[in-house]
């Protein structure tokens, strides 16, 4: 986000410090230990060898963690049953499509009126190429993927406080920022300011690299010309026939870019989690949950609200309400339990586990987040502004506008992600608004970037995660301190119960974390079952 | 900077006017303050009523009666636990189970204001208000 928090020594600042003082390898090491940047350790389908002799497992929650556990334990010979609160599988893996109704806590019901084929992914919406486990399940279960465009050079970076509030093209900010830095560095190099740091041989290579990388001219200047236009584009693109000669544009000065803070937006494209290639399922992220559920035709009991989990030396008993029958209380028994409920829910259930595990369950607050989807009569971002997919970032409270990574150039309608907040005051303030107010909010601010909004808007939906009845929050939010104190306790097998979900991973808030957590949990559980 | 601040204010005013048009009479009665969007890294609402309406009400609901899904947000209305202001302050600054530590995005004054507001509204009537200094002490 453009408005990065300025904590005294935030994790990000700490990482920057480590990176600056100790180099890339140390930084990577530190990022890995803090739960960032680690490549998924997934190395292919799990093999649970040995006969569980008909052992039974009850699994709570039919999100990706619960369904991964059910699917793999079932393949290994366990008898599995999943209890799911919702009337559908997937959990946060979810797409809202035309015809869907969604009732949030507080009772407001939205009827999604999107056209056929259009959707909003209220939860996860993009898959990094290094989330190997999720990609493997998509392959095994026949979920068709397509590229998700994270970086579109022609999308915008926008600040209400810079350039008179006029959105700037990412390619221009990126090229001019890097070109400006390259020119500055080349100047310092040629003046001998870096002689102590750079050898005579490296100096020439450095200058050559700066010229090539930064779009500098023969005199190491970054200015309007063919070299800079190669990167930033043209004031008038080259054409055909008479009068077709391109016109090079005047770069934005380094001072203006620095003080605009638009360079902050470029970070959204640099991080390991957001590098190309990213993917999305064709037809919405919810296709993955639907595909998992197809593999578990008789295993999921829907509309079952768990209210208590009790274990003893013989097994686990889960009390639950059958929501389709007015909350009639029933019990389900099994030898073991994989609990893939969010901690916001689990922390409120009667549960007999060790004190350290209970403390861990109670210790993880959930991030606040809101997403707002807006359907427009025409794809004006493509037709008028030539933005095909990607994301514009802004310091307005909507934070970003994401353009659909499908259906390009079709001339029809489209659904934009019109706001996506993550924590901070605005997430809570938006959660306090009604869905209609949220949509009005997204339209009001979004029109500062795309003035076509008022004329083209048709219908929208808003999902505030703290109002989502099945989770009461967005994703587990660990700190270094809470991880240090509680994470291992959370992940232990406690008697006959083991937890799974993104909250039990070092890839929090990502689907890969949920799946890897489930695979690790059932591998350890299986060992224990065989040993019993 | 001055002109920038003014623009932000105008934008906020426009926004409030736009949403009020579509807000029912009932909703206005339940929500004493119009929707508000802070522009910094902390909550900018002033006074207990505005803080409650724009922060707490998100989960505990405008009428403070809570909400129930797979688990619940407890009612703050007529809630005996509110007898302890310390409990409330701890929840605000440290979070508790499903509640995030939203007090970390409030000043000491704001935290005291919203705690005092909740403890004297929605059928609660506790006459031992907390001060900003109390909030500051609890925050540590």
Query: Is residue A38 assigned to a domain?
Result: no
Nearest-CA distance B134 → chain A (Å) = 23
Last residue of a domain, one of A467, A494, A521: A467
Mean pLDDT across chain A = 93
Whole-number pLDDT of residue A40: 77
Q: Residue A385: pLDDT band by 50, 70, 90 thresholds?
A: very high
- Residue-wise pLDDT for A196-215, tens only, equals 999 999 999 999 999 999 99
pTM for this structure?
Answer: 0.90
List CB contacts of A508: < 8 A, sequence separation 6 or more.
Answer: A35, A475, A476, A477, A478, A502
| Set of chain A residues whose Cβ sits within 8 Å of the Cβ of B70 | 85, 305-306, 341, 345, 469-472
The answer on A181 and A134 residing in a single domain is no
Question: Same domain, yes or no, for A405 and A423?
Answer: yes
- Coil/strand/helix, residue A169: strand
Range of the domain at A371: 96-154+367-467
Q: What is the pLDDT of residue B17?
A: 40
Does residue A482 belong to the interface with chain B, where contact is any CB pair within 8 Å? no
**A527: closest CA among A333, A353, A336, A358?**
A336
Residue A392 and residue A460 share a domain? yes
Residue A7 has pLDDT above 60, yes or no: no
Q: Is the pLDDT of residue A287 over 80?
A: yes
Average pLDDT over every residue of A435-446: 97
- Whether residue A61 is contained in a domain is answered as yes
Mean pLDDT of A106-121: 98
Tell me, yes or no, whether A217 and A68 share the same domain: no
pLDDT surpassing 90 at residue B1:
no
For residues A184-188, give the mean pLDDT: 98
Residue B16: pLDDT over 60: no
Could you report how far apart the first and last alpha carbons of chain B are, in Å?
33
Residues A423 and A486 in one domain: no
Report ipTM for this prediction.
0.88
DSSP-assigned states of every residue in B53-102: IIIIHHHH-TTS--EESSSEEPP-TT-GGGG-HHHHHHHHHH-BTTB--G
Does the pLDDT of residue A2 top 80, yes or no? no
Element (DSSP H or E) covering residue A102: strand A101-103
Contacts of A165 in chain B (CB under 8 A): 7
Helix/strand/coil for A328: strand
- Mind listing the domains of chain B with CATH numbers? 2-139 (1.10.760.10)
Chain A residues touching B101 at Cβ < 8 A: 365
Partners of residue A432 in chain B, C-beta under 8 Å: 35, 53-58
Of B36, B37, B70, the CB nearest to A470: B70
| Residue A133 pLDDT exceeds 50 | yes
The nearest alpha carbon in chain B to A443 belongs to B15
Q: What's the whole-number mean pLDDT along residues A269-288?
A: 97
Could you tell me if B50 and A96 are in contact, meaning their C-beta atoms sit under 8 angstroms apart?
no
Q: Which residues of B touch A468 (CB under 8 A)?
A: 69
- Please report the pLDDT score of residue A38 as a whole number: 55
Q: What is the DSSP letter of B30?
A: H
We report the CATH number of the domain holding residue A521 as 3.50.50.60
pLDDT at B13 over 90: no
Question: Average pLDDT in the A259-275 region?
Answer: 97
Query: Is residue A30 situated within a structural domain?
Result: no
How far is B49 from chain A, CA to nearest CA, in Å? 13
- As a whole number, the mean pLDDT across chain B is 83
Q: Whose CA is closest to A281, among A185, A137, A67?
A: A137
pLDDT digits (tens, 9 = 90+) for B81-136: 999 999 999 999 999 988 999 999 999 999 999 999 999 999 999 999 999 999 99
Count of the separate structural domains present in chain A: 3
pLDDT of residue A48: 96
pLDDT value of position A235: 96
Q: How confident is the model at residue B19 (pLDDT cuts 50, 70, 90)?
A: very low
**In chain A, % of residues over pLDDT 90:** 92
Per-residue pLDDT reduced to its tens digit, A233-264: 999 999 999 999 999 999 999 999 999 999 99
Chain B residues in contact with chain A using a Cβ-Cβ cutoff of 8 Å: 4, 7-8, 11, 14-15, 18-19, 22-23, 27, 35-44, 53-59, 61, 67-73, 95-102, 105
My answer on whether A105 and A144 are in the same domain is yes
Mean pLDDT for A463-482 is 97
CA distance A83 to A328: 14
Q: What is the pLDDT of residue A122?
A: 98
Do A373 and A457 reside in the same domain of the chain? yes
- A483 and A448, same structural domain? no
At residue A364, the 3 state secondary structure works out as coil
Q: Same domain for A130 and A254?
A: no
Q: For residue A218, what are the contacts with CB-CB under 8 A and spacing of at least 6?
A: none
The answer on A256 and A132 residing in a single domain is no
State whether A376 and A458 are in the same domain: yes
**A14 in a domain, yes or no?**
no
Instruction: Tell me the CATH number at A444.
Output: 3.90.660.10
pLDDT value, residue B24: 40
**Mean pLDDT to the nearest integer, A356-378:** 97
Please tell me whether residues A357 and A374 are part of one structural domain. no
**Structure confidence at residue B22 (pLDDT):** 39
pLDDT interval class at B33 (50, 70, 90): low
Whether A372 is covered by a domain: the verdict is: yes
Kindly indicate the confidence band of residue B140, based on its pLDDT and cuts at 50, 70 and 90. Answer: confident
């Amino acid at each position: 986000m453009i408005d990065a928090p300025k904590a005294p020594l935030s994790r990000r600042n700490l990482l920057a410090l480590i990176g600056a003082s100790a180099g890339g390898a140390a930084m990577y090491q530190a990022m890995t230990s803090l739960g960032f940047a680690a490549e998924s350790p997934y190395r292919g389908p799990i093999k649970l060898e040995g006969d569980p002799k008909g052992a039974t497992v009850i699994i709570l929650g039919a999100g990706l963690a619960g369904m991964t556990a059910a699917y793999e334990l079932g393949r290994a010979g366990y008898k599995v049953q999943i209890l799911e609160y919702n009337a559908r599988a997937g959990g946060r893996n979810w797409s809202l499509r035309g015809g869907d109704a969604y009732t949030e806590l507080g009772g407001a019901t939205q009827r999604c009126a999107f056209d056929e084929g259009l959707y909003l992914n209220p939860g996860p919406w993009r898959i990094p190429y290094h989330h190997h486990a999720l990609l493997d399940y998509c392959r095994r279960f026949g979920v068709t993927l397509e590229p998700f465009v994270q970086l579109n050079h022609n999308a915008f970076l926008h600040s209400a406080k810079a350039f008179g509030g006029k959105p700037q093209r990412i390619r221009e900010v990126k090229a001019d920022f890097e070109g400006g830095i390259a020119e500055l560095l080349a100047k310092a190099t040629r003046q001998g300011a870096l002689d102590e740091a750079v050898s005579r041989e490296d100096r020439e290579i450095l200058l050559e690299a700066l010229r090539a990388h930064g779009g500098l001219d023969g005199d190491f200047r970054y200015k309007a010309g063919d070299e800079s236009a190669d990167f930033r584009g043209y004031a008038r693109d080259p054409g055909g026939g008479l009068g077709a000669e391109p016109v090079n544009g005047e770069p934005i000065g380094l001072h203006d870019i620095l003080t605009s803070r638009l360079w902050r937006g470029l970070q959204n494209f640099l991080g390991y989690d957001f590098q190309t290639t990213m993917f999305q399922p064709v037809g919405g992220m919810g296709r993955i949950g639907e595909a998992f559920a197809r593999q578990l035709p008789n295993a999921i009991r829907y509309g079952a609200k768990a209210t208590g989990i009790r274990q003893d030396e013989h097994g686990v008993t889960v009390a639950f309400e059958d929501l389709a029958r007015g909350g009639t209380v029933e019990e389900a028994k099994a030898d073991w339990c994989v609990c893939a409920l969010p901690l916001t829910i689990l922390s409120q259930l009667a549960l007999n586990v060790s004190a350290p595990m209970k403390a861990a369950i109670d210790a993880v607050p959930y991030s606040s987040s809101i997403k707002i989807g807006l359907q427009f009569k025409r794809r004006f971002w493509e037709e008028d502004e030539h933005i095909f997919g990607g994301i514009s970032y802004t310091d307005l409270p909507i934070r970003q506008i994401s353009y659909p990574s499908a259906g390009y150039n079709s001339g029809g309608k489209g659904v934009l992600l019109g706001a996506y907040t993550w924590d901070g005051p605005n997430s809570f303030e938006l959660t306090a608004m009604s869905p209609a107010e949220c949509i009005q909010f997204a339209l009001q601010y979004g029109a500062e970037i795309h003035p076509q909004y008022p004329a083209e808007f048709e219908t929208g939906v808003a999902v505030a995660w703290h109002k989502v009845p099945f989770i009461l929050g967005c994703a587990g939010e660990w700190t270094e301190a809470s991880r240090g104190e509680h994470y291992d306790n959370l992940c232990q097998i406690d008697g006959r119960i083991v937890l799974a979900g993104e909250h039990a991973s070092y890839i929090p808030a990502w689907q890969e974390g949920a799946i890897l957590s489930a695979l690790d949990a059932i591998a350890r559980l299986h060992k224990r079952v065989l040993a019993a | 900077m001055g002109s920038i601040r003014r623009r932000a204010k105008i934008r906020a005013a426009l926004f409030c006017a736009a949403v009020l048009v579509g807000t029912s009479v009932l909703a206005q009665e339940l929500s004493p303050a119009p929707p508000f969007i802070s522009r910094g890294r902390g909550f900018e609402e002033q006074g207990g009523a505005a803080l409650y309406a724009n922060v707490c009400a998100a989960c505990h609901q405008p009428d403070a009666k809570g909400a129930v899904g797979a688990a619940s947000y407890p009612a703050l209305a007529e809630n005996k636990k509110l007898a302890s202001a310390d409990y409330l302050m701890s929840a605000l600054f440290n979070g508790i189970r499903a509640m995030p530590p939203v007090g970390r995005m409030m000043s000491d004054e704001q935290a005291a204001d919203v705690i005092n507001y909740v403890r004297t509204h929605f059928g609660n009537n506790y006459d031992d208000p907390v001060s900003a200094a109390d909030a500051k002490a609890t925050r540590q």
